[in-house]
Amino acid sequence: MHDAYPLSTKPMATSGLPVNSFPTQDLWAFDEASRRSRTRDRVAPWRRLFIFGGASLLTAYLTHEFFQVLNVGGLAQLEIVLIAFFVLNIAWLSLSFMTAVAGFLVIATGGRRSMIDFASLNLEAPLKAKTAILLCTYNEAPERIFGTALATMQSLSAGRHANDFDVFIISDTTDPDIWVQEEAAYQAVMAKQLSGPNVIYRRRTANIGKKAGNIADWCRRWGHGYENMLVLDSDSLMEGETIEKLALAMDAYPEMGLIQTVPVTMGRFTLFARLQQFAGRVYGPVHATGLAFWHRGTGNFWGHNAIIRTRAFIENAGLPELSGKPPFGGTILSHDFVEAALLCRAGWRVCMVPELKGSYEESPPSLIDFAMRDRRWCQGNLQHSRLLRANGLHWLSRVHLIMGIMAYVSVLLWFLFLVSALSVTIQAEYTVPDYFRGAGLFPTWPMQDSERAMSLLFWTLTLLLLPKVFGFSVALFSKDRQAFGGVAGLTGSLFFETLMSSL
């Protein structure tokens, strides 16, 4: 067993921690005086007011309309419950809609999509420090992970900064057959004697802490020798020029603790995967640009295809074990959201860069694979309900945690809304109307406002479908339109994807 293939690196002079340290953070206590001071972002409050103010106005208006539709001679208890579920669902939908509106406006007006001005970076400038590229694997096909390593090395070798990077394959593989294949694949790579980045392979004997523990182990062993680390999964990939731009951006923006790219899904050929890839390529840019619009420097981390300032991560992102047993206790599964929140808590900026091309990942090939992945993510995101009260978090980091929870709870809320609506319908069917209320001589006929109900349906469909139209419009007028089959192919695919996603 190879715990590590040695590599000579020196500790970072900028780190105030001893080598081999990776302190666990206290989620429930935080010294405000320890937070780094950073320049004030004067744009962010206005952008967040636009997003949350717009979502609140939409929610208030549509809730009022729904109330008026139901309020026929007063509200029954079931109708009050129905309104409560409506508010939760429409608020979530309105926030997503306003994000898409912002993203579309930024793209349509040609505005800068993130806090980082990549156009101003000098690609010929030397890098100030070394960056480690981490390829995380756990019982994955070795040819995939080592193929990614080779592709990354070759892509970087085409640039002028190849020697400023090292590629680490950090394995948590437990299957002995795959482990042997990994060893053989590593030896085959080393035998090629390629120029450019060094490649280092390390396998842990125990999958302690899962992926977060894998990266933590790397941080203890080698992290103090690198200014940055770029994290990739076994099914993700990044072009050499993109990696260079990220490293240059970290040099140019010293307040950045993490820069998250928006990976494009690719490499699958099943119908299910192709639908996901189409949706990601057409709708994704608008939504991601909208997120970057209001996240600004208090963004999120998706666990891969991102560059991280190693010192910031080591000093502030060590995760504790949660008390109690799974599913809500034990190892923090969706560690990425929490790590981003801890970086922001310490005063570092976390930024999404939707405009940066050359970042890729594979999507699940089938509905079963998708469900298996979502099962893991669901448990991890629901764990975040325990972390909402963590001390010192930026309020927007708490919003990110809530959004992660809502990604799964919203399905249950829609189901409960439908059940409540059905219950109200059944109750109305078997309840004898009271035509004579009060002392009046004439009957009061219980009639719902059908015109208002149709208007409400129209608004709901608008919130659901207009973001797709935004994405379609951007793709239609982009230079990549022919890649979607031209106008006819793009239009047909839009209708087909909408039909399939609604089933």
In tens, the pLDDT along 198-221 reads 999 999 988 899 999 999 999 999
Least confident window among 186-195, 367-376, 440-449:
440-449
Q: What is the pLDDT of residue 503?
A: 73
Is residue 433 very low, low, confident or very high in pLDDT (cuts 50, 70, 90)? Answer: low
How high is the pLDDT of residue 244? 96
Please tell me which residue, 234 or 228, carries the higher pLDDT value.
228
Predicted confidence at residue 444, as pLDDT, reads 63
Global confidence as pTM? 0.92
pLDDT at residue 4 in the model: 45
What's the average model confidence in pLDDT over 147-166? 92
Query: Distance between CA 233 and CA 473 in Å, rounded?
Result: 32
Compute the average pLDDT of residues 16-24: 75
Is it true that the peptide bond before 45 is cis, omega within 30 degrees of 0? no
399 vs 150: CA distance, rounded Å: 39
The domain segmentation of the chain, as residue ranges, is 118-263+302-362
| Predicted local distance difference test score (pLDDT) of residue 71 | 83
Element containing residue 421 per DSSP (H, E): helix 395-430
pLDDT of residue 120: 92
CA pair distance 125, 449, nearest whole angstrom: 66
- Give residue-wise pLDDT tens across range 108-146: 999 889 999 999 999 889 999 999 999 999 999 999 999
- The arithmetic mean of pLDDT across residues 313-320, rounded, is 96
State the average pLDDT over residues 7-20: 50
Beta strands in 120-193 (DSSP E): 131-137, 165-171
CATH label, 118-263+302-362, candidates 3.40.50.12780, 3.90.550.10, 3.30.450.80, 3.20.20.70? 3.90.550.10
